[in-house]
Amino acid sequence: MRAGWPAVLLVVLCAAVVVAWRFGRAAVRRERDRQRQADLRITLAEIDALDDRRFEYALRDLLVRDGWPASRVGGGGDQGADVIGDHLQRGRIVVQAKHTRVGGKVGSSVMYAVKGTARPVHKAEHAVVVTNGAFTRDAMTWGDRHGVHWIDRERLRHWAENGAALHELLGLPARSRPFRFKRAA
């Protein structure tokens, strides 16, 4: 039995080297992805050329760049959510994407739908409608009054092209965390 310990030690050492190598590669890959996301800039011309589905993916990528791990969930029956993101300090965000032709306008009905599902269905603290076009005056007024944020073409330029973080652009506060432990009586 004692004669076999060098072989066992060699196997354990090789396994440790393989595990360390894999962790190192994963860390390099994560850093490369983080850097790629940090550098992400999309021009309005590129956004205008996208189809609806790719527009949703672009919005997801911008959220990820800004620190919101996000998923595209849009499609039939999406209940007013094309992208959902979760941020440790800011909570959950629901994004409804409205890709229009240049000059297209998004009306109030979109705002109503997003407001009606963001919190009750998706458990979100923030609801946002994003378009590469514009919003009607009624839609902007209603959104401002009822807590549905809107990103029009000009705000989208600041977010996508100039690299402004969405939570800074919209003034989204960090949520306050409740105390975890109750005080003893």
- Please write the tens of the pLDDT for every residue from 39-55: 789 999 999 999 999 99
- Residue 38 scores a pLDDT above 60: no
Phi, psi at 83, each rounded to 5°: -140, 135
State the Cα angle at 98 between 96 and 102, rounded to 5°: 155
What is the pLDDT confidence band of residue 57, given thresholds at 50, 70 and 90?
A: very high
The answer to whether 107 and 136 are in contact (CB under 8 A) is: yes
Pairing of strands 91-98, 134-135: unpaired
The predicted-structure confidence for 65-92, as pLDDT tens digits, reads as follows: 999 999 998 766 667 799 999 998 999 9
Considering only residues 10 and 38, tell me which one the structure prediction assigns the higher pLDDT: 10
Alpha-carbon Rg for the chain in angstroms: 23
pLDDT at residue 153 tops 60: yes
Specify whether the CB–CB gap between 157 and 167 falls below 8 A.
Answer: no
